[in-house]
């Protein structure tokens, strides 16, 4: 899967239907996102989008990641004593179920970190604490746990979730 037929590149408008299909698969299999968005394509294109990258195997989208600028978690900024205008947020990372555990997420993370570095930004992210495999992925790639907070949203059952806050390696 991570051979020559896998390409990580900027997302094109024509990629959005494929991204939504993969997101729907991930939602069914892993409940990410916890709450299915009313307009999934719009959810993948927030107003503060700095970059959107996809992983494509041949012509099929198998993964996605976004970098958001301007919506930085101020809790992280205060904790690490970095001005919020020097931070960006990794967001909307998902991999198709059949492509997971094949290095695709690592390649998308690397591409997002490179984009942030090129723009002189440090990446942060938050992840639901109960998603151990996601936290393990970030920690495997050198991300540093800097704190916890309660999610500003609730699950469809009304449950509030604890988030782990991470800072990308330098």
pLDDT single digits (tens) 22-71: 999 999 998 889 889 999 999 999 999 999 999 999 889 999 999 999 76
Average pLDDT, the chain: 89
For residue 159, count CB atoms less than 10 angstroms from its CB and return exposed for 0-12, middle for 13-18, buried for 19 or more.
exposed
Task: Tell me what pLDDT residue 71 has.
Answer: 66
Task: Tell me what pLDDT residue 143 has.
Answer: 94
Distance in angstroms (rounded) separating the CA atoms of residues 148 and 75: 9
Place of tokens 């899967």: 1
Distance in angstroms (rounded) separating the CA atoms of residues 66 and 99: 18
CB-based contacts of 137, cutoff 8 Å, min separation 6: 105, 106, 109
Which is more confident, 46 or 78? Answer: 46
> From residue 1, how far is each of 60, 67, 103, 105 by CA, in Å?
12, 24, 8, 11
The token pair at 41 is 């394509």
Give a three-class secondary structure readout of 48-78.
CEEEEEEEEECCEEEEEEEEEECCCCHHHHH
Between 3.40.630.30, 1.20.950.20, 1.20.58.760, 3.40.50.300, what CATH number should domain 6-167 receive?
3.40.630.30
Number of residues written out for the chain: 170
Task: Tell me what pLDDT residue 17 has.
Answer: 98
Domain ranges in the chain are 6-167
Q: Are 115 and 50 in contact (CB under 8 A)?
A: yes
Task: Tell me what pLDDT residue 61 has.
Answer: 98
User: How do residues 113-142 score in pLDDT, each as one tens digit?
Assistant: 999 999 999 999 988 866 667 888 899 999
| pTM of full prediction above 0.95 | no
């Amino acid at each position: 899967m991570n051979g020559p037929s896998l390409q990580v590149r900027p997302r094109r408008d024509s990629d959005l239907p494929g991204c939504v299909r993969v997101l729907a698969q991930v939602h069914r299999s892993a409940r990410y996102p916890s709450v299915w968005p009313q307009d999934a394509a719009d959810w993948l294109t927030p107003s503060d989008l700095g970059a959107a990258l996809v992983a494509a195997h041949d012509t099929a989208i198998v993964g996605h990641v976004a970098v958001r600028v301007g919506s930085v978690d101020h809790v992280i900024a205060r904790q690490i004593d970095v001005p919020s205008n020097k931070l960006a947020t990794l967001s909307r990372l998902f991999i198709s179920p059949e492509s997971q555990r094949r290095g695709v997420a690592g390649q998308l993370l690397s591409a997002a970190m490179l984009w942030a570095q090129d723009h002189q930004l440090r990446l942060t992210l938050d992840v639901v604490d109960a998603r151990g495999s996601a936290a393990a992925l970030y920690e495997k790639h050198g991300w540093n746990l800097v704190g916890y907070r309660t999610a500003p949203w609730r699950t469809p059952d009304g449950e509030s979730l604890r988030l782990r806050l991470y800072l990308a390696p330098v």
